[in-house]
Amino acid sequence: MTPILTPARQRTLLALAGALVVMNLASFGFGEAPLETLGRIWAGTWGTPYGIGQVLFKAIPLLFTGVAFGVALRAGLFNIGSEGQLAMASLAAGFFASKLGAGLPWVVALPLVVAVAALVGGAFAAIAGAMRAKLGVHEIITSIMLNRSADVFLPWALAVGLSVDGVRTAPVAEGARVPPLERWFPSFTGSAASLAFPTAVIVAFAVHAWTRRSRIGRELEWVGQAATVCEAQGIDVARRRMQAMVLSGAIGGLTMMGTVLGYKGYYELGLGAGAGFSGIAVAMLGRGGPVQLTLAALLFGTLAQAGIAINARVPRDAMGVIEAVVILLMGAAAFASSQDEVKSPVPANRKETAG
Amino acid sequence: MRLLSLTTVAETLRMAAPYACAAVAGVWAERAGVIQIGLEAVLLSSAFASVATAIASGSMVLGVIAGIATGVALSALHAYLVDKTRIDAVVSGIAWNLLAYSASRLALRALYDSASNSPSIEGFRFGPTGNEGWQVLLRVLCDPVNWLALLAIVASPVILERTRLGLRIRAVGENPTAARAAGIDVGRTRLAALAISGAIGALGGVHLAFDQHRFESGMSAGRGFIALAAVVLSGWLPGRAALACIAFAFLEALQFVLQDIGQASKAVTLAQILPYAAALVALGVGVGRRSAPGGLGRHAEG
């Protein structure tokens, strides 16, 4: 019989308590009554249909990047380059979609744009993947360098011709838009939630099933657990690592479905920024499976939306502090409870941190 | 302005200081076996603490001390969490970076009601004023924070290679299980190494803030990340890491030279990519291909 307070739930409770403490301190610091701040957060997030829609919208990139990080982690790779991968993919998708013919039906346009985003995200991740697989340079270092390179490259690319006004790309073709949920659920009206949310959930379940059912997916995990054994067994470790990294980048690139195609209708600098790093927290919190992953994305989506709800009175940076505290508390509590769980959270192979 | 002038030399040295401090801080952490990608947080939090304290107390020296104390506290807490709670060091580092960025912005609003920067501080003003190359160079050479940084950088390899503490830190970093069997307290040794790492990294943060005479939101601007690349490129040697940082700083100073020459301005923005691209290429061709400390990211087992 499982106890009601499983280790995972204890962790979540601890993190929520920490979040509450920081929230109250920040409220006091800015001369606001904590209860009023909490009330504002409730009204801005789960308290109204519009708020719920906004939370779903905020959760879309986080779920995609969470899944992306998880896939690489299965193979023992720390892809902290989602940030750059999703930005490059978003720009490419936004630009490509703006060049499509206006009359193109969505069954053609949408898959094309999604493919471009996945391709670009995957290709950008492939640089780090290849350097790890072929040259043995650790992916953490290369991912960080690639993130920073993207930070420099994007404004330049927008300035020299990929944009209409130096800041944003031209509007995407109508057929490439991801329809908003308000089309089917009128109470979401005004919120930016789109079909990208259910898509992200489906992707989370599909990837989960694939890593467990397919041969490549299972080999990824073995590579993550014991690379040298795999090598001896004739598994092409370098190739599997490369595949995991590219797949991770491609999934990260899909975030643009929520931001570029489902919300703005164009790409502008900074759209989707931050999701790459938050996705790591989502993946850590949502280990276990696609349901947990979705819940974790919703939690961090709620934090992000709550920041906007209180920003007029308490700066939304308070939510950044809360997010950091939640990550630290969850991570710190994970070990205590992993004693009871079957497996270590991080594949053993990651410990072989070569430079 | 020519490519190599006194101004370029002075600017390179000025810009190299925060990079080099962060990189040497990274060497200390990783030689002890603790992955530290929170260098950015060390830079940012110490920069903020030094400015806030300098403003509140009116004493620049107190500001420097507060900055260093903040760096030590943050870095030591990282070591403690990683050792005691076994939080993943990369995840912890990312959380610290987020925390330092958000908390410093929050404090800017709370203390100075500004979203972007603090009021200005006096800092240390020694040496001649003016913008001639030799004047700038002389100012850099007169800056006490630079001297503190240089001292830390020069002392680091000596302490790491020649002292009992250094030996213990390297032992823990190479093989924590064996070090523990030999009677070394792995947790405390790592705590000590990370405290030193935090102090040196904090000098970089203090330098950033005192150089600008104020704190600006996000002013570390990725320097902690570049420093990580320098750590790997150096083969985990503090002296070489500092040299790599001077190279990165030179690439950064070059941008200003390019701007002066007035080349097509859009190309200049792309030139900011140089340090990162250079790091990637250098890593790719295997400059200083030395393997990481054997115990990096490992805990004592059994």
Q: Is residue B91 part of a domain?
A: yes
The larger pLDDT score, comparing residue B1 to residue B156, is at B156
Q: In A, which residues are within 8 Å of B236 by CB distance? A: 355
pLDDT at position A349 over 60: no
Crossing angle of helices B186-212 and B6-31, rounded to 10°: 160
The ipTM assigned to this model is: 0.88
Crossing angle of helices B274-284 and A139-157, rounded to 10°: 150
How much is the pLDDT for B262? 59
Among A144, A277, A352, the strongest candidate for a mutation testing the B interface, having the largest count of B CBs within 10 A, is A144
- Over residues A212-263, the pLDDT tens digits come to 999 888 888 888 888 888 888 888 888 889 999 999 999 999 999 999 999 9
Q: Is residue B77 part of a domain?
A: yes
pLDDT at position B42 over 90: yes
Task: Choose among B102, B109, B270: nearest Cβ to A152.
Answer: B270
Q: In A, which residues are within 8 Å of B98 by CB distance? A: 277, 320, 323-324, 327
Among B27, B74, B94, the strongest candidate for a mutation testing the A interface, having the largest count of A CBs within 10 A, is B94
Among A23, A148, A280, A282, the strongest candidate for a mutation testing the B interface, having the largest count of B CBs within 10 A, is A148
Task: Choose among B272, B279, B290: nearest Cβ to A152.
Answer: B272
Q: Cβ contact (<8 Å) for A320 and B99?
A: yes
Q: Is residue B281 part of a domain?
A: no
Average pLDDT over residues B68-84: 95
What is the spatial distance between Cα B119 and Cα A330, in angstroms, rounded to a whole number? 36
Q: In A, which residues are within 8 Å of B41 by CB distance? A: none
| Count of CB pairs separated by less than 8 Å, A with B | 157
How much is the pLDDT for A344? 44
Task: Give the chain B residue whose CA is nearest to the CA of A333.
Answer: B85
How much is the pLDDT for B50? 97
How much is the pLDDT for B302? 66
Task: Choose among A149, A320, A345: nearest Cβ to B101.
Answer: A320
Average pLDDT over residues B41-49: 97
Give B294→chain A minimum CA distance, Å.
8
pLDDT at position A172 over 70: yes
pLDDT at position A341 over 50: no
**What are the E-state strand segments in chain A?**
none
Q: CATH for A7-351?
A: 1.10.3470
The larger pLDDT score, comparing residue B282 to residue B178, is at B178
Burial of A107 from C-beta contacts in 10 A (0-12 / 13-18 / 19+): exposed
At B257, the pLDDT band (50, 70, 90 cuts) reads: confident
At A2, the pLDDT band (50, 70, 90 cuts) reads: low
Least confident of A8-12, A188-192, A327-331, B153-157: A8-12
Q: Which one, of A248, A219, A241, lies nearest residue A80 by Cα?
A: A248
Q: In B, which residues are within 8 Å of A281 by CB distance? A: 91, 94-95
How much is the pLDDT for B238? 93
Task: Choose among B103, B229, B286: nearest Cβ to A321.
Answer: B103
At A350, the pLDDT band (50, 70, 90 cuts) reads: very low
3-state secondary structure of B216: strand
At A16, the pLDDT band (50, 70, 90 cuts) reads: confident
- Over residues A193-214, the pLDDT tens digits come to 899 999 999 999 999 999 999 9
- Over residues B190-200, the pLDDT tens digits come to 999 999 999 99
Average pLDDT, chain A: 86
Q: Cβ contact (<8 Å) for A149 and B280?
A: yes
How much is the pLDDT for B287? 64
Q: Cβ contact (<8 Å) for B266 and A156?
A: yes
Radius of gyration of chain B (CA): 19
Task: Choose among B86, B102, B229: nearest Cβ to A141.
Answer: B229
At A141, the pLDDT band (50, 70, 90 cuts) reads: confident
DSSP assignment of B150-172 equals HHHHHHHHHHHHHSHHHHHHHHH
Average pLDDT over residues B217-246: 90
Task: Choose among B87, B102, B229: nearest Cβ to A328.
Answer: B87
* Domain residue ranges in chain A: 7-351
Q: Are B33 and B169 in contact (CB under 8 A)?
A: no
Least confident of A59-73, A338-352, B152-166, B263-277: A338-352
Give A158→chain B minimum CA distance, Å.
10
Q: Is residue B135 part of a domain?
A: yes
Kindly state the DSSP code that residue A352 receives in the 8-state scheme.
-
Q: Is residue B241 part of a domain?
A: no
Most confident of A124-128, A129-133, B276-280: A124-128
pLDDT at position A36 over 90: no
- pTM of the predicted model as reported, rounded to 2 decimal places: 0.87
Structural domain harbouring B30: 20-220
Q: Cβ contact (<8 Å) for A328 and B283?
A: no
Task: Choose among A156, A321, A351: nearest Cβ to B106.
Answer: A321
Which amino acid, A224? G
Q: Cβ contact (<8 Å) for B101 and A145?
A: no
Most confident of A1-10, A88-97, A264-273, B274-283: A88-97
At B288, the pLDDT band (50, 70, 90 cuts) reads: low
Burial of B90 from C-beta contacts in 10 A (0-12 / 13-18 / 19+): buried
Task: Choose among B87, B279, B291: nearest Cβ to A332.
Answer: B87
Q: Cβ contact (<8 Å) for A153 and B273?
A: yes
How much is the pLDDT for B93? 93
Average pLDDT over residues B35-58: 95
How much is the pLDDT for B201? 97
- Over residues A40-65, the pLDDT tens digits come to 889 888 989 999 999 999 999 999 99
What is the spatial distance between Cα A335 and Cα B85, in angstroms, rounded to a whole number? 6
Which amino acid, A64? F
pLDDT at position B259 over 80: no
Q: In B, which residues are within 8 Å of A284 by CB distance? A: 88, 91
How much is the pLDDT for A57? 94
What is the spatial distance between Cα B241 and Cα B234, in angstroms, rounded to a whole number? 5
Average pLDDT over residues B233-253: 89
What is the spatial distance between Cα A88 and Cα A256, in angstroms, rounded to a whole number? 10
* Interacting residues of B122 by C-beta distance below 8 A, sequence separation 6+: B54, B60, B213
Average pLDDT over residues B146-153: 92
Q: In B, which residues are within 8 Å of A19 by CB distance? A: none
Q: Cβ contact (<8 Å) for A328 and B81?
A: yes
* Interacting residues of A77 by C-beta distance below 8 A, sequence separation 6+: A129, A132, A139, A224, A241, A244, A245, A248, A350
- Percentage above 90 pLDDT, chain A: 37
* Interacting residues of A291 by C-beta distance below 8 A, sequence separation 6+: none
The domain total for chain B is 1
pLDDT at position A340 over 50: no
Q: In A, which residues are within 8 Å of B229 by CB distance? A: 141, 144-145
How much is the pLDDT for B49? 97
Average pLDDT over residues A151-178: 87
Angle at A94 between CA A91 and CA A96, to 5 degrees: 105
How much is the pLDDT for A120? 97
